Amino acid sequence: MKSYRVATIAGDGIGPEVTAATLKVLTEALGASRITFEDMPGGAGHYSRTGEVLPDDTFAACRDMDAILHGAAGLPGVNYPDGTEVGNDLHLRLRFRLDLYANMRPIRLWPGVRSPLRDFDGGGIDYVVVRENTEGLYASRGAGVLLRGEMATDTLVVTRKGTERVARFAFDLAQRRKGAPRDGRARVTVCDKANILRSYAFFRAVCDEVHGDYPGVEIDYAYADAITVHMVKRPDFYDVIVAENMFGDIISDLGAATVGGMGISPSAEIGDSHALFQGAHGSAPDIAGQDAASPLATILSGAMMLHWLADRHEDADLRQAGDRVEAAVGRVLAKGDHVPRDLGGQTGCNAMAEAICRALSEEDKTK
């Protein structure tokens, strides 16, 4: 029986708290013998102490181990001379150096969670934003022009290879899912500004070409401005949305807001041979160290990690463990007696993890 090693970078702010909570739940679901979490340094705090945001040993562990689990990174005031934040450099470097080209962000309204959208209940919103994660406007990061304090430029880069692989990822995902809540149809929505910029028109054209290989999946289009209205007025229409890097960054936060916020929004940053799993939220230094954060986004990212490892290694135990973690989160949320603070409750970070562990062990007893 294969055992797995996970490079674990707790990071800054609430990172250590949500990571510890996640390790507790994943170990409860899978057993300590099957998965080990190797704590690796990195982030803004580490940079302040050592001058390194991503030490070579940490990068080597991320490259060589089976998966990467990350809490959060970034601290106020810890910036580079060009004004950009140091903490973000940790996972941005991992994205580019490990070529994690598909950033999967499920937007799912769980039963028992109230949406700010009054017409939608649990199950009514359930789609995935697939954000291209290695080019687009982010390709210029750290490489833009800064001229005489008068001018600054960053260039949007859209390549055929980069678009084809993320589009194929999106169509494959739509084929595996159960379709949009509204009509059960497998659908990929291309989010762009093809009406204005050639680079986005090229993005759309390449997505169209890839669609040719997926006759069973419907293709749909939405401009990046218009989709923000649709995601509020008819979110049940969506199944999978594929978007350029910056647009994906923006619309995935909006999507998170419609299902309860960043505290319940997981993410998986996936490449052909590596993957990083972390809550879509930041390091929230304002509530760090107070057991106040919600661990749900990181726990659900942990479940995505088990599913990714299960697919990669054809490991049914891991698939089952991932399903069990999601189901346990669902039971706790539906029951409603343990509710994290960002969802209007009083339950602390550690107590949420313990409630989910209890739900897992209770399930075992019924078997």
Task: Provide the annotated active-site residues.
Answer: 138, 193, 225, 249, 253
Instruction: Give the integer Cα–Cα distance in Å for 190 and 28.
Output: 39
Which C-beta is closer to ligand IPM: that of 4 or that of 101?
101
**Rounded least distance, CB 261 to ligand IPM, Å:** 14
From 51-59, 237-245, 249-257, 283-291, give the range in contact with Mg ion by CB under 5 A.
249-257
From 38-46, 166-174, 231-239, 247-255, give the range in contact with Mg ion by CB under 5 A.
247-255
Single out the residue of 192, 249, 269, 342 in contact with Mg ion (rule: CB under 5 A): 249
Which C-beta is closer to Mg ion: that of 91 or that of 338?
91
- List phi, psi (to 5°) of 312: -65, -35
**Rounded least distance, CB 65 to ligand IPM, Å:** 21
Distance from the Cα of residue 61 to its chain's centroid = 20
From 31-39, 51-59, 243-251, 293-301, give the range in contact with Mg ion by CB under 5 A.
243-251
Amino acid, single-letter form, for residue 9: I
**Rounded least distance, CB 76 to ligand IPM, Å:** 13
- Binding residues for Mg ion, how many (CB under 5 A)? 1
Taking residues 65 to 104 in sequence order and writing x for each that binds ligand IPM by CB under 6 A, - otherwise, the string is -----------------------x---x------------
Instruction: Give the integer Cα–Cα distance in Å for 157 and 134.
Output: 10
Decide which of Mg ion, ligand IPM, none touches 92; Cβ closer than 5 to 8 Å per partner kind: ligand IPM
Instruction: Give the integer Cα–Cα distance in Å for 67 and 275.
Output: 6
Decide which of ligand IPM, Mg ion, none touches 320; Cβ closer than 5 to 8 Å per partner kind: none
Which C-beta is closer to ligand IPM: that of 237 or that of 247?
247
**Spatial CA neighbour of 302 closest among 228, 356, 240, 246:** 356
**Rounded least distance, CB 248 to Mg ion, Å:** 9
Closest residue to Mg ion, based on beta-carbon distance: 249
Decide which of Mg ion, ligand IPM, none touches 350; Cβ closer than 5 to 8 Å per partner kind: none
Instruction: Give the integer Cα–Cα distance in Å for 155 and 145.
Output: 9
Amino acid, single-letter form, for residue 145: V
Under rule CB under 6 A, residue 303 binds ligand IPM: no
- Binding residues for ligand IPM, how many (CB under 6 A)? 3
Decide which of Mg ion, ligand IPM, none touches 88; Cβ closer than 5 to 8 Å per partner kind: ligand IPM
Buried b (16+ CB within 10 A) or exposed e, 115-126: bebeebebebbb
**Spatial CA neighbour of 84 closest among 37, 129, 140, 42:** 140
**Spatial CA neighbour of 243 closest among 151, 323, 155, 135:** 135
Instruction: Give the integer Cα–Cα distance in Å for 277 and 62.
Output: 11
Under rule CB under 6 A, residue 28 binds ligand IPM: no
Instruction: Give the integer Cα–Cα distance in Å for 280 and 240.
Output: 17
- List phi, psi (to 5°) of 336: 80, 5
Which tokens sit at 281? 């939220």
Decide which of ligand IPM, Mg ion, none touches 359; Cβ closer than 5 to 8 Å per partner kind: none
Kind of pairing between the strands at 218-223 and 187-192: parallel
Under rule CB under 6 A, residue 249 binds ligand IPM: yes
**In this structure, are residues 311 and 39 in contact, taking their beta carbons and an 8 Å threshold?**
no
Decide which of Mg ion, ligand IPM, none touches 356; Cβ closer than 5 to 8 Å per partner kind: none
Which C-beta is closer to ligand IPM: that of 12 or that of 249?
249
Closest residue to ligand IPM, based on beta-carbon distance: 88
Which C-beta is closer to ligand IPM: that of 40 or that of 100?
100
Query: DSSP label at 57?
Result: H
Amino acid, single-letter form, for residue 23: L
The secondary element (H helix, E strand) that includes residue 266 is: strand 266-270
Which residues are at the interface with ligand IPM (CB under 6 A)?
A: 88, 92, 249
Q: What are the residues binding Mg ion (CB under 5 A)?
A: 249
